[in-house]
Amino acid sequence: MALRLTGTSTSVYTDIDPMFSRNPKTGDLLLVRDDQAIRTSLKNLLMTSFGERLFQPTIGGSLRSLLFEPIDAITTMEIKDRILKTILDHEPRVSNVVVSISASEDQNGYGVEIEYSIVAAGKTDRVSVVLERVR
């Protein structure tokens, strides 16, 4: 008896769409694949605070708490360190992570650019995130 797979996908990484969109025909949840899956995962990790995920209290960067600190070099370095540590500890699909941060006192926030290599694909990608106070 031989097992033959037809219609297999060449995607390396898949995650559930963060908007929980559904396929209109089947009703199944849609998936994000490869580059988009990693970008979504990185954004989720950075926006998660410690203790926010049940039974996984160490996941996240707890960056929200730093947004109400003075916008100076010390806070900028702390944000950069937390981002690097969070990605290296919780996202094994990426390597060679480089984080660039630009502080904007006028807008009370930070522009974050993260460049990384995707381990399985052997290519680089980047994600941009704006961290700003909500209040």
Closest CA to 88 of 73, 79, 102, 98: 98
Chain Cα centroid distance, residue 62: 13
Q: What is the pLDDT of residues 44-102, one digit of tens each?
A: 999 999 888 889 888 888 898 899 899 999 999 999 999 999 999 999 999 999 999 99
pTM value is 0.81
11-47 pLDDT, tens digit each: 678 888 888 899 899 999 888 888 899 999 999 999 9
Residue 104 phi, psi dihedral angles, 5° rounding? -130, 100
> Span 14-132: which CATH code?
3.10.450.40
Q: Which residue has the tokens 């297999």?
A: 8
- The residue extents of the domains of the chain are 14-132
